[in-house]
Structure 1
């Protein structure tokens, strides 16, 4: 079978509860994640209008003056605004970036109550979202979209379990109160790489799974196992899905974390809303039983979300390092 083409997986029969659809779809998923590391999903149940409404809010946010956006500058919980060229992908195993990425982004995580124990304890990555003033409806639209995406993730992890020959409910407990992040990104137009400048340099995600909303403006490319870079086509209403470094750790490298990059050569502005999902912050991430054995020991130590993300962001997010320095002064 071809591994230079991103597979398309129809979630419709599985989501409708058709007999046998869970395992049939899981088999397609396993092929995608062991051979190319990316796939499209169609008939996923997310209304087109909800996706379009979220894109509209992202455009509204980035249309604000930079000074207003900087009032919400990204914090140590990784919520808030990352200004243009605010991160450099130094940890990439594909191409160590030396130039900051040509994009700006606004990050939100799970909406937390002010009296939540993690908020009161100022626990890392469990802080409250900060929302812009003067954009009525922004918060409500974004929170609703995040809730919709989380619900889809909770259905999809059952496919991942079966794709790994595990009980369908294997990931239900790990993904209860799961960690997630919505990255609302703006890429200005560029003519192409100038030395090593990208909208987003070649990298692998950190997540268990990433869902990238359907986008009419192309820009995403992925690197196949042969080393060839291919452009992801724009398929109407289809999400692009991929795994990241946490998925590799869960599966002992059985499933791929495929390198990808973004370059906006469209001649206009490009917006993207990837949704990154991981297990509960307190769940130990270790290779699942079906991926280890006497001749195949675990390749990674047991990992916790917070420890891994602190290391990753310290290396890659210049704007957070600036915040740390200012806090220490």
Structure 2
């Protein structure tokens, strides 16, 4: 089974100070030691999860020319459809064996950010697709807010330190389809080894083998969640902010054994991003004589732009 620790968000929101403290300790230790945790007690209902998978399977079954009509040029794949093999991991030339969709932020009361973010793309063929996507986005965003509150307390910050940075943040919900493998892949895997760009990632669909995490001994270990759990990991932005106290762990999605090549795999990560002006300068209380400052000063928006160039999603 998975070597990733499990925690229950209900402990944090229970109103019981001992359970809350237990959650903060457990998630803090997990993110300092391996950078991943399996989380139950989140805000997604079973029905919403079932509805989302139903909608995304229907979308990816649409004819290729219909899907291609939702690939929007000039926005670096930040909304709508990205076709098979287009994205690659940093430092790799081979495209990953996946196609995906992006839902973005539903901005409230901020005309400047409404202009900054691309609009969400409406799928005409599936009347419930966008509605179910929006509800999933909101519930994962709410879950992420409480996880970040626990991490703020772990870092000896105000509990609501992250709240204003993530409200209307540039977060992305990405339903991914890894299609059946029809021929021997040449140096390509479903998702090559990478770290995530953002603050934290909440992953639906880590219930079977495939997702692997690199531990501190440079060994790949399987990361498998129970059906009621989300897999959550630290992204590079949070790692920079905390001067690597919280670890952004390298992970990958490997190809299945040959007998399972004929099967599709679906997963749905939610990439929690802050607003672009958030400073990622290392927190003063994460720097000392034993832990000198590791990273240059940068904003979240500047860092995201750099990484999208490295991923081949936007041109310099």
Query: Scaled by the length of structure 2, what TM-score is found?
Result: 0.90
2:47 alignment partner in structure 1: 49
Q: Retained in 2: the 8 A contact 1:213–1:272?
A: yes
Q: Check the 8 A contact 1:81/1:106 in 2, yes or no.
A: yes
Partner of 1:327: none
Q: Single out whichever of 29-38 and 185-194 deviates more from structure 2.
A: 185-194
Unaligned runs of 5+ in 1: 325-329
| Partner residue, 1:79 | 79
SS of 1:135's partner is coil
Counterpart in 1 of 2:15?
17
CA RMSD after TM alignment: 2.3
- Residue 210 of structure 2 corresponds to 219
Stretch deviating more after TM superposition (264-273 or 101-110): 264-273
Q: Give the deviation of 1:27 after TM superposition.
A: 0.9
Which segment drifts farther, 243-252 or 42-51? Answer: 42-51
CA distance in 2, matches of 1:173, 1:23: 23
TM-aligned CA deviation for residue 213 of structure 1:
1.1
Equivalent residue, structure 1, for 2:96: 101
> Which residue is equivalent to 1:68?
66
Superimposed CA distance per residue, residues 87-119 of structure 1 (whole angstroms, 9 cap, x where no aligned partner)? 121x2xxxx323111100111111248993344
Partners of 2:67 and 2:5 in 1: how far apart? 38
Alignment TM-score, normalising by the size of structure 1: 0.87
Count of paired positions: 309
Q: 1-side partners of 2:291 and 2:222: how far apart? A: 34
**Counterpart for residue 175 of structure 1:** 166
Secondary structure of the corresponding residue to residue 213 of structure 2: strand
Offset, 1:30:
1.5
- Cα pair distance change 1:296/1:247, threshold 3 Å: same
The CA deviation at 1:196 is: 2.3
- What is the deviation of 1:19? 2.0
1:257, 1:196 → 2: CA distance?
Answer: 24
